[in-house]
Structures are given as structure tokens and as C-alpha cells.
Amino acid sequence: MPLTKALSGPVAGLLFAGTVLSHPALAHDGDHPIAGEHDIEPASYTDEFLKLLVPEAEAAADFTVKGSYRYISANGYPYKAPGKFPNSGNPHTISRKNYQLKVPVNPTQNGRATSANGTPFGIALNGVLFDPATAEFWQNNRSSGWNYEANSKACKLGLDTYNAHVQPDGTYHYHGVPTGLLASAGGKSTPALIGYAADGFPIYGPYGYSNPKAKSSIRKLNSSYRVKGGTRPSGPGGKYNGTFTQDWTYVAGSGDLDQCNGRFAVTPEYPNGTYHYVLTDSFPHIPRCWMGSPDQSFARLKARGGGQRRGDLQDDMTPDLETTVMTADLISEETADLILAQSSGGRERFLLPGQHPPPPGGRPPQGFGPREGGPQAGGRPGGSGGRSPCSGS
């Protein structure tokens, strides 16, 4: 009989990764169980046994396929113990959440890129959000347009060994490759499925098949973003060096991945190939745009502005709450920059003096200021002044 599928992260996807990921039944094109998925049936003796091994408090993520959507319930707390929070670079304490999200089971590409624009890009199999943008700006001035990168040495944001830290509302989230989850999912030995983007396409770790058309040797994949040449025309000045999001530009063909850090390739779960996103060690680390249509349950995570985050699932006929969708389109090969345009009018926006608009993620993300927790003493939202965890250029 037809089976509905659910994913219980720690039970199969992480705790028994070495066994489950190698099972031949996991190879599929979207209709068979993937790593960590199981059929929804009455609990078996095996299920009950696993519950004894995995404390309920740690069974934090559940992915259930119903019809054309994958429904995600998670509390945002990782299976592997996170770093110590609060710490000297991050004053916030992790709190469990109530994420209720959904993504399409069979996503389609739109033929253009849609900027994540400060919205969480996706969610890991352990229920932790991928949310790469920061709220730190040059001289603590959001209107400057120069947004610090979390992984630059200029910021002391208290990231733990898993490239994650905590937002003021207690949200633990990733700014880079989740090394602990990657190790559990196969590490360097296989293309490792580690989550889903808001548009439904799968997210993989930095390793992929050298031949995207067939199972082949494994190698680390490279993004196609490069640090711009020359000097910054405004704000901090000085040479472009990767400290700010706006220091980077997409150069088509310079790496393995497109402007959203994705590619079409075969994977253990998709032997006939699928478009998927790749997390990389270099910028953008986590993609800053989608090639499909992101579900609005992810945008609503931040629309509430702090507090208990959740994505409110609405009927599919409910009008889209986002009236403006940011899209990213390549311009000339000579500059290989990305223009962010409003779909409602195609107007260029957030143009810095003397340059093209920044790549995906260049628009000031929603947030509250230094350490993503509001302006420090003496600071003003949208203004300058006050202490900041970031310095230098």
C-alpha cells in the first residue's frame, strides 16, 4: 500500500548513520525513504527500543511527508551538545523552539535566483536553522550598507566548533558547515544529505562526486564567489578582503556551483540526479539565495520579531504574505555581479555609491544589531555609535 514517510533525525539519520546511510533502500528519486526516513506505521519493537536509546528531549526533529509537502516539526536544539552559551562573544542562552514548517516534496527551479534576504535559508536534519546573515554593520551603522560576515576574523560572535551561535531570542543557528552533523552523516566519505532548503531542495555537505553525472570519486566542491578586486568605494574603504558580504562577487564558472551554491548531480539519495545546494568552507558558506520558491513558513519565523519562533502553516490557498520577493539575476560576464531587483517593478535597490548592488544577503537582514541582539549601549537602530563585536575592515 502507499506509504507516507516521516523522518526522525536522531533515530536513523544520525544515531545509526553508518548503518542506515549505506542501506540500498535509501537510494531514490524522491519516492523512497531517504536517510532517516521511515514509514508511518504502528510503532514496532524496534521503534520502542530506539526510544529507550534516544531521550525524548533530544528527539528534536521530525520530517513527515504528506501529499506534496514535507512537514517539519523541530525544537531547534541539536543532538550533539552545542558549545557553551552564553560565552565571551555571545551573551545569549539557547532555548528550545516550536518550529512548524513545510517545504515541497518535489520542488522546481524558477530559472532565476530569489534572495534569502535575511530569512533562514533552510533547516538541518537535526532541527537547527541555517541562517547565515548577520545584523552587524560597519561602525554599528545599518544604513552604511556594509554588512560583516560571521566567519570573518573581524567579528567576535561566539561561534562554537559547529559554526553556530545563539540569537537574542534563544535561537541556535548555523553560520557555516555544521561539522558535527556532517560527521554523523558520513563526513568526507560520501555526499552527505544534511537538511532541506526553504524551497524544498536538499542541502548537502561540501563533498560531492567528482563526476556530477555518476557515482564517482569524492572531492570537496568549491563555490564560485570571489573577493572583488580594488578598493571599497565607501564606508570602511580599504581593499576588498572578504570581511563584508559586499566584498564578494559571483564569477560564473570559477567554481563548481552556481550563484546559490547549488548544482545538479547524482547523490546516494537521488541516483538519477537532483538539483541541490552545497555548504562550502568559503563564502557564501550557506547559500544566500534559492533557485526554487521558498515556503512562507520560513519567512514567518522572523516576521514575528523575536520570542517563540514558529512557522505558521497556512492553507495553500492563503495569499502569499510577502508582497515583495527579491530576485537575483546575473548581469554582464565582465562584472559578474548580482543585481537584486524587486519583482514588483524590477527596480535596482540598495545601490552603494560607485558599485553594483551586493550579492544575495547584501540587503540589511532583519535583526536587532550587534551580536544579533540589538544596539549596544549608546547605539541606535539604523544609526551609528555604540560598541560592536566587530571591528576593522
**Integer Cα distance of 359 and 339 in angstroms:** 7
CA separation for the pair 206, 263 (Å, rounded): 12
Question: How far is the C-alpha of 243 from the C-alpha of 126, rounded, in Å?
Answer: 29
pLDDT at 268 over 70: yes
Q: Assess whether pLDDT exceeds 50 at residue 13.
A: no
Give tens-digit pLDDT for 214-228. Answer: 999 999 999 999 999
Q: Is 380 left (phi over 0), alpha (psi -120 to 50) or beta?
A: beta
Domain limits, the chain:
5-314+360-372
Choose between 80 and 342: higher pLDDT: 80
pTM of the complete model:
0.71
List the grid coordinates of 352: 552603494
Q: What are phi and psi of 213, to 5 degrees?
A: -95, -5
- Mean pLDDT over 126-149 rounds to 94
Of 182, 235, 179, 259, nearest in space to 353 by CA: 235
How much is the average pLDDT of 346-367?
Answer: 36
Measured CA to CA, the distance from residue 140 to residue 91 in angstroms comes to 18
Residue 364 CA to residue 349 CA, distance in Å, equals 12
Does 168 have pLDDT greater than 90? yes
Selection from 390, 369, 310, 372 nearest residue 168 by Cα: 372
**pLDDT at residue 54 greater than cutoff 80:** no
Average pLDDT score, the chain = 73
pLDDT in tens, 313-347: 443 323 332 322 333 333 233 333 332 222 223 23
Least confident range from 27-36, 43-52, 159-168, 297-306: namely 27-36
Tell me how many helices (H) and strands (E) the chain has. 4, 21
